[in-house]
Structure 1
Amino acid sequence: MKVLFKSTPLLIFLPFFGISAGPAQDIDFYKTISNWYDLTLTAQVNEPLPKIIFNEDDPDFGKPNTATNKSRSDLLARKKAKEKLRVRLSQSLESLFYDSNYTVFEYSQMNKMVRSRINAFISEEKEIFDFQPGKNQLISKASINLIGKQGFLAYLPVEYASEQIPTFTEEVLPVEFSGLVVDARHLKVKKALFPKIQSDRGLDVYSPFYVKEGYAIETGYVAYRDDEDPKNWEKRAGKNPFFIVALGVSGKNQTDLILPADEVAKFLSHPETRKNLMRCRVLVLVSK
């Protein structure tokens, strides 16, 4: 399998894939949007504004879902919208795939510390709210960050950097790469917070055990795009990433990726490349 290192030759692959939007997004049962490139969750509700009744003689005066002025009506709608948004975001957060075996909720059921940290994150109200008035309703959005010092990943107890990345000795002079771009657009891969990347001989190429905690928290362990323009990959994987087409997916949740072993040896042969892998400079391309 031929590996392409520069952006121009990559164009030979483009006719096989349709034009895509860019950041990979999922919309779940709760209508919450998971942005797997920026690593955010966003929910929206349209909350009806309580009817304004200021006349005390009106038979509906003082009844539930009414208000005596516009400010009070907005306040009541915001309160209800916040409650709904917080529930939707927490439900969606726990339904994310943690790795190839568990959802976040399933993983938390196995580990009391994880459950405690998730509860702490939710209780601290990390949501960012936005309210826009509409016709007889309040258009309300809320989002939470998975990354950053106040993001969800900062609350998860993960065993980072406990193992060394495998090394290989190449017969030719090793090439330094700024990151790794795995093309999985032809596969039915599921997105996860901590997917593994393995060789077709069963060797772990990328796992939480290899990466530095600070990078995983600040940038996310991995990012996904459905974008065909190599220029848009630079922020995540640098200007000279190792581009490789995945052979398949694995794991119960179909989140892990399998790469050809001979190309893995080329990629991991340079020490600076391995350092960039430890810095989470990994991008997975998925279909829209």
Structure 2
Amino acid sequence: MNLLDGKKLSNEIKDEIAGEVARMKEKGEKVPHLAAVIVGEDGASLTYVGSKVRACERIGFESTLKKLPESTTEQELLAVVRELNADPAIDGYIVQLPLPDHIDEQKILMAVDPDKDVDGFHPANFGKMAMELESFISATPYGIIEMLRRNGIETSGKHAVVIGRSHIVGRPISILLSQKGPAGNATVTLAHSRTKNLAHLTRQADIVVSALGVPNFLKADMVKEGVVVIDVGITRVPDASRERGYYLCGDVDFKAVSKKASWITPVPGGVGPMTIAMLLKNTLLARQRHRG
């Protein structure tokens, strides 16, 4: 079993980006500027946004964090989005999800300028990605592809089963794995919670990407020997015996499945760090496009 160490690889990517930022500074060019908007006090979201801000500081990006109260109205948030769209100093920005129930997430994401949509959630970027045109690729699928590519994992002609059909992970990674190019050319089955005989499909798979959000869903008897397993799920499971009151658990029964897998991602330390690294890479790309 080989571990797909997302933390190690993400640090390598950050170092590459930091080198590019240093060269930009030497030339007197504007460095990338990433902004993040967060509404409310969701603990997981605050932690995640905080890690993005720290990553910006490490690699030399400028960063802006806009923290809005839970009571922020949809119209007030739309006004912030329009402000960021119009600000030439901001190269890219994210609106951290989930948003409070009284705000229509889709309406907010649709209002984001596609040229600053470094999360890759806007339909314009999703559509361009599907057509293999220049776009911003959603950071988590982008990170999975980069992880497979940089570890030399063969995907061409392989059968990949993706569990989960969200627009953020499942659907885009199913498209990317099937496209021509590195870490592509796979035959992909997109499965979900309504799929019948799911274990029959996963036992045939050379690659399994699980993005279902159900702790320990994928068991050892659901995969074959030598499978490559990408665990996207991350759930806070309550545990009073721990200082934080919870532990993080992926979709995959890691202890059992790792005995059969040729490659597998841990949780935490797998896909999560790669998501942040690729968000930064998208922001660098946005700065380069705006400069052009």
Tell me the TM-score normalised to structure 2 length.
Answer: 0.24
| More helix, by proportion | 2
Larger radius of gyration: 1
| More strand, by proportion | 1
Higher relative contact order (CA 8 A, sep 6+): 1
